[in-house]
């Protein structure tokens, strides 16, 4: 791996209370992504590289909710505790927060779908996006694919993502799909080694 530096950004996808164990749509083991994500966040800030945090930020009655005919329970309603970032996730004032799926009539798994993320990345001269967060088989997969389609190089940090696995193996299949789309699969440890290696 080429060591992260200027032109690289980190995106932490949807590490929100409702997606953690005990949340409205909690992922088994979802909280395990927080520690590796925090290690990446600390390294990114140390090197002065841009950090983005995406979040589901749904209005009441969002089309993804079961009561509206969608596949999911009510989750991540804007302004509620469930929509807040996990308390253990170390955020900072300079982080750019990207809210997605904010329209009642349109769902969006990708952090680039209907958001200013692509424009924000271009404005900062970002050519490679490192992705951590939730969930591997939905929002991480969609974000990685859209980032590749937008011409970005993408690195998915496999120890800092977690899957819903509605069907067993969905998460692994999503990683294979991302690799087939041209994403690099790596780990936080390998990335940190590359960052700290002597020039």
Among all residues, which ones are annotated catalytic?
14, 100, 139
Phi–psi pair at 100, nearest 5 degrees: -130, 165
**Integer CA distances (angstroms), 187 to 120, 154, 168, in order:** 25, 13, 22
What phi and psi, each to the nearest 5 degrees, are found at residue 137?
Answer: -90, 5
């Amino acid at each position: 791996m080429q060591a992260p530096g200027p032109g690289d950004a980190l995106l932490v996808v949807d590490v929100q209370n409702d997606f953690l164990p005990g949340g409205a749509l909690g992922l088994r083991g979802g909280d395990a992504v927080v520690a590796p994500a925090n290690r990446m966040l600390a390294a990114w800030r140390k090197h002065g590289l841009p950090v983005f945090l995406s979040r589901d930020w749904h209005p009441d009655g969002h089309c993804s909710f079961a009561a509206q005919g969608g596949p999911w329970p009510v989750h991540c309603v804007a302004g509620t505790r469930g929509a807040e970032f996990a308390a253990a996730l170390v955020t900072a004032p300079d982080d750019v927060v990207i809210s997605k799926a904010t329209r009642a009539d349109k769902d969006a798994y990708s952090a680039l779908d209907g958001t200013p993320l692509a424009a924000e990345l271009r404005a900062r001269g970002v050519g490679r996006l490192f992705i951590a967060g939730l969930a591997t088989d939905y929002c991480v997969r969609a974000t990685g694919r859209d980032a590749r389609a937008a011409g970005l190089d993408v690195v998915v940090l496999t120890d800092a993502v977690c899957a819903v696995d509605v069907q067993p193996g969905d998460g692994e299949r999503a990683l294979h799909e991302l690799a087939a789309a041209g994403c690099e699969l790596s780990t936080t440890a390998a990335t940190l080694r590359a960052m700290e290696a002597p020039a």
